[in-house]
């Protein structure tokens, strides 16, 4: 049922002129990532299999699902107050919401919905701007805060900038200072190598989001799920590991968790739900993808996300 609903939402996205967001240059990163995801097969284990629960714990709180929203931004071309509507949908689904670039009033409105949000801050050249956004996130009582460290050269439309603000690379020392300044768990998003994963732990990161920014920052970027087992080996049980980029179904989330992720984020699928029915559509997408994952869990002998193991996957 969720597949037909997503198709309806995708049609509405295209009617609004929101085409698929191809990555850097010719979109090879997204194509390669989708091909890799589709190359992973799932083994059935149905005899004595239990009914599954998808409850997920993060930073001392319990959520209904390890299916999260991606760190989207704007979305006004899809729905008025798009990010606030996403927050309402995530809150209704009892799921974690990530949010990207946006002004202080939008973040305040997101917090007021009751959504447990994670604010991702751009690597602004102005460190004072970063610290101000960290403090606002604390004041609003968000679940966590962090930085997408891969956005160092800005967007394709305006290189070197995030909207009108200059961005640039951050050193390990910079990141340690942001971590120390934050009273919330500080997550690093855009980790796509063992080297950066090790540096993230050394800097004191409270979590890692394995991501290539939807393929928009590097052409031919390695698929996040390909790096996931290696990065999970480094992180161990010390900090949670998340993944995004081309995650769009219950099977995708299941594969991500089997390979070591604690949770996974939906991007385009959430946008489709938003286009279909606003906050209610976002809720339906999160819960629908979660239910598909729960069924797969029950068909593979896993009674909880923590019981999903990599040996249930086969690679072709």
| Secondary structure of 246-261 in HEC code, one letter for each residue | CCCCHHHHHHHHHCCC
What DSSP state is assigned to residue 289?
A: H
Cα 251 from chain centroid (whole Å)? 16
Those residues whose C-beta lies under 8 Å from the C-beta of residue 303, and which sit 6 or more positions away, are 50, 51, 52, 53, 297
Residue 241, pLDDT above cutoff 90: yes
Asked if residue 173 belongs to a domain, the reply is yes
**Helices assigned H by DSSP within 19-167:** 28-38, 82-92, 104-112, 127-139
pLDDT digits (tens, 9 = 90+) for 41-63: 999 999 999 999 999 999 999 99
Those residues whose C-beta lies under 8 Å from the C-beta of residue 192, and which sit 6 or more positions away, are 150, 210, 211, 212, 221, 222, 224, 227
Measuring CA to CA, how many Å separate 30 from each of 27, 37, 100, 205, 244? Answer: 6, 11, 20, 27, 11
Measuring CA to CA, how many Å separate 77 from each of 12, 84, 91, 115, 188? Answer: 11, 13, 22, 22, 28
Q: What pLDDT, on a 0 to 100 scale, did the predictor assign at position 17?
A: 85
Q: What pLDDT, on a 0 to 100 scale, did the predictor assign at position 84?
A: 98
The three-class DSSP label of residue 50 is coil
Helix, strand, coil abundance in the chain, percent, nearest 5: 45, 20, 40
Asked if residue 46 belongs to a domain, the reply is no
Q: What pLDDT, on a 0 to 100 scale, did the predictor assign at position 16?
A: 87
pLDDT digits (tens, 9 = 90+) for 191-231: 999 999 999 999 999 999 999 999 888 999 999 999 999 99
**Dihedral (Cα; 197, 200, 206, 207), 10-degree rounding:** -30
Asked if residue 113 belongs to a domain, the reply is yes
Q: What pLDDT, on a 0 to 100 scale, did the predictor assign at position 22?
A: 45
Asked if residue 280 belongs to a domain, the reply is yes
Query: What distance in Å separates the CA atoms of residue 196 and residue 191, rounded to the nearest whole number?
Result: 6
Question: How many independent structural domains does the chain possess?
Answer: 1
Give 154's pLDDT tier (boundaries 50, 70, 90): confident
Cα 301 from chain centroid (whole Å)? 26
The closest alpha carbon to 143, from 123, 180, 113, 174, belongs to 113
Those residues whose C-beta lies under 8 Å from the C-beta of residue 144, and which sit 6 or more positions away, are 59, 118, 119, 184, 185, 186, 187, 206, 207
pLDDT digits (tens, 9 = 90+) for 269-295: 999 999 999 999 999 999 999 999 999
Positions marked catalytic: 213
Asked if residue 130 belongs to a domain, the reply is yes
Residue 25, pLDDT above cutoff 70: no
Asked if residue 107 belongs to a domain, the reply is yes
Q: What pLDDT, on a 0 to 100 scale, did the predictor assign at position 20?
A: 63
282: domain CATH number?
3.20.20.70
Cα 213 from chain centroid (whole Å)? 10
Phi-psi region of 209 (alpha: psi -120 to 50; beta: other; left: phi over 0): beta
Task: Point out which residues pair with 98 in neighbouring strands.
Answer: 118
Query: What distance in Å separates the CA atoms of residue 266 and residue 285, rounded to the nearest whole number?
Result: 9
Asked if residue 168 belongs to a domain, the reply is yes
Section 157-163 average pLDDT: 80
Question: 118 is in which domain, residue-wise?
Answer: 2-40+51-315
Asked if residue 45 belongs to a domain, the reply is no
Residue 296, pLDDT above cutoff 70: yes
Q: What pLDDT, on a 0 to 100 scale, did the predictor assign at position 185?
A: 98
């Amino acid at each position: 049922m969720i597949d037909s609903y997503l198709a309806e939402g995708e049609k509405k996205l295209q009617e609004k002129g929101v085409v698929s967001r191809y990555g850097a240059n010719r979109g090879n990163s997204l194509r390669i990532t989708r091909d890799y995801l589709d190359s992973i097969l799932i083994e059935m284990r149905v005899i004595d299999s239990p009914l599954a629960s998808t409850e997920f714990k993060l930073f001392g709180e319990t959520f209904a699902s390890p299916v999260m929203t991606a760190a989207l931004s704007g979305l006004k071309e899809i729905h008025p107050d798009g990010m606030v509507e996403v927050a309402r949908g995530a809150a209704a689904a009892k799921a974690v919401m990530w949010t990207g670039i946006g002004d202080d009033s939008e973040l305040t409105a997101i917090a007021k919905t009751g959504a447990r949000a994670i604010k991702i801050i751009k690597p602004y050249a102005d460190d004072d701007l970063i610290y101000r956004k960290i403090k606002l996130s604390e004041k609003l009582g968000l679940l966590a805060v962090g930085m997408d460290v891969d956005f160092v050269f800005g967007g394709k439309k305006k290189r070197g900038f995030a909207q009108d603000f200059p961005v640039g690379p951050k050193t390990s020392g910079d990141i340690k200072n942001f971590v120390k300044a934050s009273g919330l768990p500080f997550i690093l998003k855009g980790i796509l190598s063992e080297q950066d994963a090790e540096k993230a732990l050394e800097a004191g990161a409270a979590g890692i989001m394995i991501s290539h920014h939807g393929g928009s920052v590097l052409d031919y970027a390695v698929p996040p799920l390909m790096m996931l087992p290696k990065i999970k080996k480094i992180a161990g049980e010390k900090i949670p590991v998340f993944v995004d980029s081309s995650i769009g179904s219950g099977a995708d989330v299941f594969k991500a968790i089997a390979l070591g992720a604690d949770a996974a984020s939906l991007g385009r699928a959430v946008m489709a739900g938003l286009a279909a029915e606003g906050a209610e559509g976002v809720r339906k997408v999160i819960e629908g993808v979660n239910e598909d994952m729960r069924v797969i869990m029950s068909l593979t002998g896993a009674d909880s996300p923590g019981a999903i193991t990599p040996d249930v996957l086969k690679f072709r």
